A and B are shown apart, each in its own frame.
Chain A
Amino acid sequence: MTPKRKKRLYLVLLLLMGIGTAAGLALNAFEENLLFFFSPAQVMAGEAPQDKTIRVGGLVVNGSVHREEGSLAVQFDLTDQSDTMTVVYSGILPDLFREGQGIVAKGRLSGGGVFLADEVLAKHDENYMPPEVADALKTAHNKGVEGMKSGTVMQ
């Protein structure tokens, strides 16, 4: 490599490093705004702002969904496996909404740990499989759970 080209190479690398550092610092400074949602644990720890529109994300607790007869109102518990909070919502839920599903709700906190949502979005994971495989996995999982309950360890 000729000295001239070497110099240009260093300039390009320097440019990349400079921009990279700047972007890194900027993203670091905006860290909180880049979080799309808070987890129930973060809300319980008081990290989420009060009286402001925020989003919370987590899993819908099994058996916690209560619908009101004759209206769209629905109430369910949201958990991140360490903390749980109650969400109240009135409106159309996405197709993927079900118990055990990850969701993101937008709204604000009211007193008593209840979250008043005005939008509920479903989050799906990166796993894709045919229904038969999902069923087989579920059966195997249930068997394992039963095995643990009855004290025998699945081999």
Chain B
Amino acid sequence: MWLWFHKLGSPRYFYDTAGKFIPWLGGLCAVLMVWGLYGGLVQAPADYQQGDSYRIIFIHVPAAALSLSVYTFMAVCGAIALIWRMKLAEVMLISAAPVGASFTFIALVTGSLWGKPMWGTWWVWDARLTSELILLFLYLGVIALYGAIEDKRNAGRAVSVLSIVGVVNIPIIKYSVEWWNTLHQGSTILKFDTPSIDPAMRTPLIVMLLAFGLYFGAVVLMRARAEVLERERNSKWVQELVQSR
């Protein structure tokens, strides 16, 4: 296990291994995405209160859940990068940032589209919505900070610190609906209680969650491979790789 971990730290080994994983993650993601979308949009019954409008949940909840877990992943990468000075952790962190920002954006937009017919408003400044918006700004801050520093090792260290600082927002988002009165409803599925959703709707929702997770895995590995090539562009193995093409 530790050997594998150390080996993964080597950019070249990572480049090859990640290349082998991507098709599997991507393929499985496509299968689950089709299953989840068909199950959610066609097979699942309509809701007793919201009718068919609730079906946006199959996009909204996975995107929102991933927006939180991706940031947590970035903070863990940031801690590894700071403590063990592992280059690959920096690469993973910065590769994950744009993906997480997109998930956050999707969660905000779908939530807004859902809010208009159900709540009667596109946007309110309640604790859940506001803290999720702050998360989007944190993501954009990480991306901007990384781009602003020329030396990528220094940039990696700076965004590691920023990711760790921002991670306090994650529990705030997660528990905002319990700590304060919010317009946003409480958790349906990601809680330690019995889920308050009919099994016929729960299955596609969980399938979509897995599909979004796999999508993140595939895309982050693709981005990380590209980042590794760019960072190691002066090394011998990258030169050989380029010439062999």
Contacts and interface: CB of A to CB of B under 8 A. Distances in A.
Contact of A36 (B165, B182, B200): B182
Contacts of B118: 94-96, 122, 124
Contacts, number: 117
Contacts of A119: 120-121
Nearest to A6: B83
Is the interface on chain B under 10, 10 to 19, 20 to 34, or 35 or more residues? 35 or more
Interface residues of A, number: 42
A108 B187 CA distance: 30
Nearest to A23: B168
Chain A interface, DSSP helix/strand/loop, else mixed? mixed
Given A36-B182, A123-B183, A131 B168 contact: no
Contacts of B84: 5
B5 interface: no
A87 B79 CA distance: 52
A37 interface: yes
28 contacts: A5-B83, A11-B82, A12-B79, A12-B83, A15-B164, A15-B165, A16-B164, A35-B180, A35-B181, A36-B180, A39-B181, A96-B120, A97-B120, A121-B119, A121-B183, A124-B50, A124-B118, A124-B119, A124-B185, A125-B185, A126-B188, A128-B47, A128-B50, A128-B196, A128-B198, A129-B197, A130-B46, A132-B45
A120 interface: yes
